[in-house]
Amino acid sequence: MTIKIGDRMPEGNFGVMTKDGPGSLSAAELFKGRKVVLFAVPGAFTPTCSMNHLPGYLKHAADIQAKGVDAIACMSVNDTFVMDAWGKDKQVGDKVKMLADGNATYTRALGLELDASGFGMGQRSQRFAIVVQDGVVKQLHVEAPREFKVSSAEHVLQNL
């Protein structure tokens, strides 16, 4: 079942890179008592994700945070090392938290998985953005197949 506005975000964990190597961040740690924009991409280093999606959130991070957002997080069905390398490649710094969902466990819990095996990518996440307030979904923007509109930083910023 796909998550919807008014639902609580599911429990679960994300892979994150720490100064000591791969670590974990729970959904509760990410969302509790905070306003968070979580956006997901089908894959790190893929064209739309690298040229438009992540760069848009980097460009508009300060404007998004000025609207009361405590954190911006990017999730992908990739491992922690890939998400860390992608973050370094795109010079993310502390503007966007890079979250690995290596086995698509959290993506499946959201009901937003995508079968990209036709492209040789296996199970991935649909492209989406969720505005979460204290663990509750306030906005949900899921892209139609092969589109990039409603999950963009610009669209989310306009709707905050």
Catalytic amino acids? 49
Cβ pair 77, 125 in contact under 8 A: yes
Q: What is the rounded distance in angstroms from the CA atom of residue 79 to the CA atom of residue 58?
A: 21
> How many other C-beta atoms lie within 10 A of the C-beta of residue 127?
26
Q: Name the nearest CA neighbour of 102 among 10, 12, 38.
A: 12
Spatial neighbors of 63 by CB under 8 A, at least 6 apart, are 157
